[in-house]
Amino acid sequence: MAHSARVLIVDDEPSIRFVLERAVEKLGLGTACAASAEEARELLVAERFSLVLLDVRLPGQSGFDLLRDLQASAERPFVVMMTAQDTLASAVSAMRLGADEYVVKPFDLARLSAIVRELSARSPATPASPPREAARPALVGVSAAMVELSKQLGRAAASDLTVLVTGESGTGKELVARAIHEHSPRARGPFVTVNAAAIPRELLESELYGHEKGAFTSASVLHKGRFEQANGGTLFLDEIGELPFELQAKLLRAIQERSIDRVGSEQPRPIDVRLVAATNAELPRLVASGRFRADLFYRLSVLELRLPPLRDRPDDLLPLAEHFVARHAAALAGRDLRLDPAVDPLLRAHGWPGNVRELENAIQRALVYSKGDILRPADLLAAIGGGDPAAPAPRVEDGEDFETALRRLLPGAVESASEGSVHGAILGHAERELLRLALSRFEGNQLRAARWLGINRNTLRSRLVALGLSLAHKADEPSPD
């Protein structure tokens, strides 16, 4: 049968099928619809489709089951997976299993139409061998940046190419490297890590490549290096930008020739290792300054995954915080806790310069000192600011203007805050006292207080919750002028 530009829509919700059908038909393409994987299979046998829009969650067999079957077909259609799930595990799995695109409900119809237009104009996809299913969720987030990263991660896992993971400290580069390994055909092999910045320069060559007995004074036994330990699996080389220049040529040779020489030996040893490197440095700048080999950089960056900082994905803050509460509550608080969603404004107000690592540390501190079964904004504020949220702020002395008082009090307040949280702690104290003053001025009337501050009442209420202040104030009753 000749190839035809027809689109099969597979979703169990009639309203979704209707909307997608109209959107696809506006592109001049024919459509057919199915409400289940079983119904879709019947249509796929009867005619050929250039593209399948496939929901993950279906009654009976899932969209992933149908995707596996499509991958094994002789002339498979392109596949766009669709889901309303708020985790990234399904996105990674979809791309790992061979989906061509992945979209999250509710749809941006303009973007989805562009995807359909592009894929339907291509030649039919070639079949791929069904890969291994995802081992476990690796990333947490709902932002567009993280969904896109998860798709790139899935594609990277499906190959055996060298990967360079870049991003600021604390963004989760090792987690991404481990996820690539766990979703790859090498998942049953070892995952070995080495931090180039944490090992003394004189020991790093031996640590990476191993040494023979007697290779140097303290080499009393044969030592297999990290490359040999990672045989059949993945070697994660962190802080690659700190690799001494004199060792970079040997790493390049290991990548190119897939063999290594132990220190004290001239006998090449074959290795079967997938290399994933990571750095928070700008390697092109190091190349330009002569501190990093250009040929090694090009070898490492065949595939590059750039991790966005936490401040650029505020929608991920609450899911991440909930994830860390679930992970650490039993060990640190001795009981199950849940996170009060009211912490969201507080999470968004903080800059998180330490990224995901700082957020996890803050949640851990909050859990240690928490009371009850709910982790509240006041608990988190104390963890971020390093102080007691109920403690009064230092007061201005009589006759002292505000700027003079601020200069006098700020150094001491800074010293009481923990490193990495100074900005949030100081502004938190200031905002808390300002809101207390506003409510006191208008005898607890939130509407008047909000007008005086120049904000709306909903904003005032959210900030009161975020800062751990009582909401037991008059909300709407007008006060006399």
pLDDT digits (tens, 9 = 90+) for 186-243: 888 889 888 888 888 778 888 888 888 777 766 667 788 889 889 999 999 999 999 9
At residue 265, the pLDDT reads: 80
Q: CATH 1.10.8.60 in the chain: give the residue spans.
A: 311-481
Beta bridge partners of 238: 195
CATH topology of domain 311-481: Helicase, Ruva Protein; domain 3 (1.10.8)
Q: Give CB contacts under 8 A, 24+ apart, made by 69-72.
A: 69/41, 70/44, 70/98, 71/97, 71/98, 71/127, 71/128, 71/129, 71/130, 72/127, 72/130
CATH topology of domain 6-151: Rossmann fold (3.40.50)
Helix (H) / strand (E) containing 279: strand 274-279
What are the C-alpha distances in Å from 16 to residues 27, 31, 90? 17, 14, 20
CA atoms of 59 and 395, how far apart (whole Å): 63
Find the helix packing angle between 457-466 and 422-441, rounded to 10°: 130
DSSP SS3 for 79: strand
Q: CATH 3.40.50.2300 in the chain: give the residue spans.
A: 6-151
Cα torsion through 395, 397, 403, 404, rounded to 10: -130
Instruction: Determine how β-strand 51-55 pairs with β-strand 30-34.
Output: unpaired
CA atoms of 407 and 412, how far apart (whole Å): 10
Q: Give CB contacts under 8 A, 24+ apart, made by 44-48.
A: 44/8, 44/70, 44/73, 47/1, 47/4, 47/6, 48/1, 48/3, 48/4, 48/6, 48/75, 48/77
Structure tokens at 438: 């506003």
CA atoms of 310 and 357, how far apart (whole Å): 10
At residue 238, the pLDDT reads: 92
At residue 218, the pLDDT reads: 67
CA atoms of 323 and 193, how far apart (whole Å): 24
At residue 70, the pLDDT reads: 83
Q: CATH 3.40.50.300 in the chain: give the residue spans.
A: 159-308
Number of helices and strands (H, E) in the chain?
Answer: 20, 14
Beta bridge partners of 192: 235
Task: Tell me how long the chain is.
Answer: 481
Cα torsion through 462, 465, 469, 474, rounded to 10: 60
Strand 101-104: give its sheet, edge to edge.
Answer: 30-34, 6-10, 51-55, 78-83, 101-104
Find the helix packing angle between 37-46 and 63-72, rounded to 10°: 30
DSSP string, 147-195: HHHHHHHHHHHHS---EEEE--TTS-HHHHHHHHHHTSTTTTS-EEEEE
Closest residue by Cα to residue 25 from 107, 111, 116 = 116
CA atoms of 177 and 163, how far apart (whole Å): 9
DSSP string, 442-474: TTT-HHHHHHHHTS-HHHHHHHHHHTT----S-
Regions of the chain with pLDDT less than 70: 1-4, 72-74, 85-90, 123-138, 217-220, 385-425, 466-468, 470-481
Phi-psi region of 410 (alpha: psi -120 to 50; beta: other; left: phi over 0): alpha
CATH topology of domain 159-308: Rossmann fold (3.40.50)
CA terminus-to-terminus distance, the chain: 82
Helix (H) / strand (E) containing 229: helix 226-229
At residue 136, the pLDDT reads: 44
What are the backbone angles phi and psi of residue 366, rounded to the nearest 5°? -65, -40
- 304-346 pLDDT, tens digit per residue, is 999 999 999 999 999 999 989 988 888 888 888 889 888 888 8
Helix (H) / strand (E) containing 259: strand 259-260
Strand 303-306: give its sheet, edge to edge.
Answer: 191-195, 234-238, 274-279, 163-166, 303-306
Closest residue by Cα to residue 314 from 279, 357, 356 = 356
